[in-house]
Amino acid sequence: MTIAFRDGDVSALFADTGVPVTIDGTLGVGLVDENDQIIVSNAGRGEVVGGVHTVTVQTSKFPAITNGMSIVVDGVTYSVRQKLKEGDAALTKILLGSA
């Protein structure tokens, strides 16, 4: 069974553990994480996996995220490498790169 969060539920989920996030002048809250990502795959014979820093934000709070734009997470400036909608798309996971 898949549990879907409504847009109004997201703020409460982030209230205790979120960090400040600013994108294009809009202030919000996000959840920071480090995830593994497949960097190189060789036709199923092997893979190179590396860590990637991510922040998960409320999609409706930041609807115009584009690759390459600046993002400030907990006071540190990064660039958006990629955005990935999660589940029912109420959340967006942003892969962070060097500013």
The amino acid at 91: L
Q: What CATH fold (topology level) applies to the domain 7-97?
A: Thrombin, subunit H (2.40.10)
**Residue 14: strand, helix, or coil:** helix
Contact 20, 27 (CB under 8 A): yes
- pTM across the whole model: 0.79
| Percentage of residues of the chain with pLDDT beyond 90 | 54
Q: What is the pLDDT of residue 58?
A: 92
The residues pairing with 50 across neighbouring beta strands, listed in sequence order, are: 37
- 60-74 pLDDT, tens digit per residue, is 999 999 999 999 999
Position 1 pLDDT exceeds 60: no
